[in-house]
Amino acid sequence: NITLDNEVHSSFIQRRLRSQERREMQREILSILGLPHRPRPHIYTKQNAAPMFMLDLYNAISTDGQQPAGFSYYKPVFTTQGPRMVTQQNSIFLNDANMVMSFVNLVELDQDVLSSRHNREFRFDLSRIPEGEAVSAAEFRIYKDYIGEHYENETFHVSVYQVLQEPPDSEEDLFLLDTRVVWAIEEGWLVFDITATSNQWVVNLDQNLGLQLALESMDGQSVNPRLVGLVWGRGPRDKQPFMVAFFKGTEVRLRSVR
Amino acid sequence: SAHGHKGRNPNRSKNPKNAQDALKVAEAAAETLSTDPKQGCKKHELYVSFRDLGWQDWIIAPEGYAAYYCQGECAFPLNSYMNATNHAIVQTLVHFINPETVPKPCCAPTQLHGISVLYFDDSSNVILKKYRNMVVRACGCH
């Protein structure tokens, strides 16, 4: 529906649209948005790809790209800002990107899929990325809650792996992407750079076997990630792990014949 | 020339009669302008509402956007705010002399900027995308 400025006689004539015309109009607007059809997201899964984080990104660029003074930056990993925030790094990615996408973790929220090494698995479907878009930056994010005095002075290694191969085709083959040392008492988002991995997945969709996260004590003992406050599954929706990717695309879209 | 003469006539510019024509044109224009209050080329409100399209179940933000449009006369003399190109100024003069053969310049956007849209896809992934040339920032005669 397009409302008009009535002050001046306008060449638009308000009339009732036939349903075919309505569909044609909506298809035209969808084609401007680069969409083949009107998306129909499922009501129950709408929270799973961190829409609030993405809304923060949207607000960041909707103020004409200038970073609003009060905007919530945080130091590399931990902060008391609460569940969702955009890093200064993200703002830099944002300025260069023409598209950002956050992906739903396909591993069932309440399914404790632990691999043979008690690692926690995560999978993301990158097959829906519009053509011509290249990943300029990508992050895997998981939230760590404060867990009280039990492990007070302990530190742990949190490592993220790319799954290269997995049974039944072969032995499980993992490639270490990043490792972080975390204090038990700290709280906030852990952000892991997975740009190279994401680009590989976009180019070869069938090589996308997901990520694995491992938690070890300082003496190398495998620890259940949940025990030190890493959130997934039953945890709050806005603290669920997700992946976000920034894209730089060609932006050349040819209009089809009408 | 309005009739598409390809070659340049070397004697045209020296002919005093053309100078008088130009003067008459200017005088006639001054009179016409005062009697015809038609609005000059400028920006007008035009709001595109995603909410009214019933799309808020998949578009997270914005609810809509002010797109604006350009409308108005590009008539002689082209006013300062009309962002006229040199060519448009000349075309206005020629239109003034030969209204039937050469049209007035068009009132169209001279500056556009983009918007960002945040939406869900079918799998509930969230997409934030920038779209260029969606909002009129300034209009002008072209």
CA–CA distance, B94 with B121 (Å, rounded to integer): 53
- Are residues A56 and A90 in contact, defined by beta-carbon separation less than 8 angstroms? no
Asked if the Cβ–Cβ distance from B124 to A49 is below 8 Å, we say: yes
Other CB atoms closer than 10 Å to residue A77's CB: what's the count? 14
> Hey, which residues 108-137 in chain A have their CB within 8 Å of chain B?
125, 128
Asked if the Cβ–Cβ distance from A99 to B48 is below 8 Å, we say: no
Q: Is residue A198 predicted with pLDDT exceeding 70?
A: yes
Asked if the Cβ–Cβ distance from A54 to B62 is below 8 Å, we say: no
Q: Which tops the pLDDT comparison, A214 or A75?
A: A214
Question: With bands split at pLDDT 50, 70 and 90, how would you rate the model's confidence at A138?
Answer: very high
Residues of A in contact with B133 (CB under 8 A): none
Asked if the Cβ–Cβ distance from B58 to A125 is below 8 Å, we say: no
Q: Is residue A181 predicted with pLDDT exceeding 70?
A: yes
Average confidence (pLDDT) over A128-139: 84
Tell me which range, A140-149, A222-231, B16-25, B98-107, is most confidently predicted by mean pLDDT.
Answer: B98-107
B88-111 confidence digits (pLDDT tens): 999 999 999 999 999 999 999 999
Q: Is residue B19 predicted with pLDDT exceeding 70?
A: no
Q: Look at residue B95 and give its three-state secondary structure.
A: helix
Q: Is residue A239 predicted with pLDDT exceeding 80?
A: yes
Please give the pLDDT value at position A76. 28
Average confidence (pLDDT) over B38-57: 87
Q: Is residue B13 predicted with pLDDT exceeding 60?
A: no
Average confidence (pLDDT) over A119-148: 86
Give chain B's mean pLDDT. Answer: 80
Q: What ipTM score was computed for the predicted complex, to two decimals?
A: 0.77
Q: Which tops the pLDDT comparison, B70 or B6?
A: B70
Residues of A in contact with B42 (CB under 8 A): none
Tell me which range, A146-160, A194-208, B76-90, is most confidently predicted by mean pLDDT.
Answer: A194-208
The minimum CA-CA distance between B119 and chain A, rounded to whole Å, is 9
Please give the pLDDT value at position B27. 59
DSSP per residue, B18-48: HHHHHHHHHHHHHHHHHH--PPBSEEE-EEE
Q: Which tops the pLDDT comparison, B23 or A173?
A: A173
Residues of B in contact with A29 (CB under 8 A): 48, 53
Q: Which residues contact B100 (CB under 8 A, 6 or more apart)?
A: none
Q: Which residue in chain B is spatially nearest to A36 when comparing CA positions?
A: B121
The minimum CA-CA distance between B43 and chain A, rounded to whole Å, is 10
Give chain A's mean pLDDT. Answer: 76
Average confidence (pLDDT) over A116-131: 81
CA-based torsion, B124, B128, B129, B133: positive or negative: positive
| Residue B92 per-residue DSSP state | H
Q: What are the beta bridge partners of residue B115?
A: B131
Q: Is residue A248 predicted with pLDDT exceeding 50?
A: yes
- Are residues A88 and A191 in contact, defined by beta-carbon separation less than 8 angstroms? no
Please give the pLDDT value at position A78. 32
Q: Which residues contact B45 (CB under 8 A, 6 or more apart)?
A: A4, A5, B66, B68
A152-161, A229-238, B15-24: least confidently modelled range: B15-24
- Are residues B65 and B135 in contact, defined by beta-carbon separation less than 8 angstroms? yes
Q: Is residue B45 predicted with pLDDT exceeding 70?
A: yes
The minimum CA-CA distance between A198 and chain B, rounded to whole Å, is 15
Asked if the Cβ–Cβ distance from A128 to B45 is below 8 Å, we say: no
Q: Which residues contact A208 (CB under 8 A, 6 or more apart)?
A: A123, A124, A125, A126, A201
CA–CA distance, A236 with A227 (Å, rounded to integer): 16
Please give the pLDDT value at position A192. 92
Q: Look at residue B76 and give its three-state secondary structure.
A: coil
The minimum CA-CA distance between B28 and chain A, rounded to whole Å, is 27
Identity of residue B99: P
A52-66, A151-165, A198-212: least confidently modelled range: A52-66
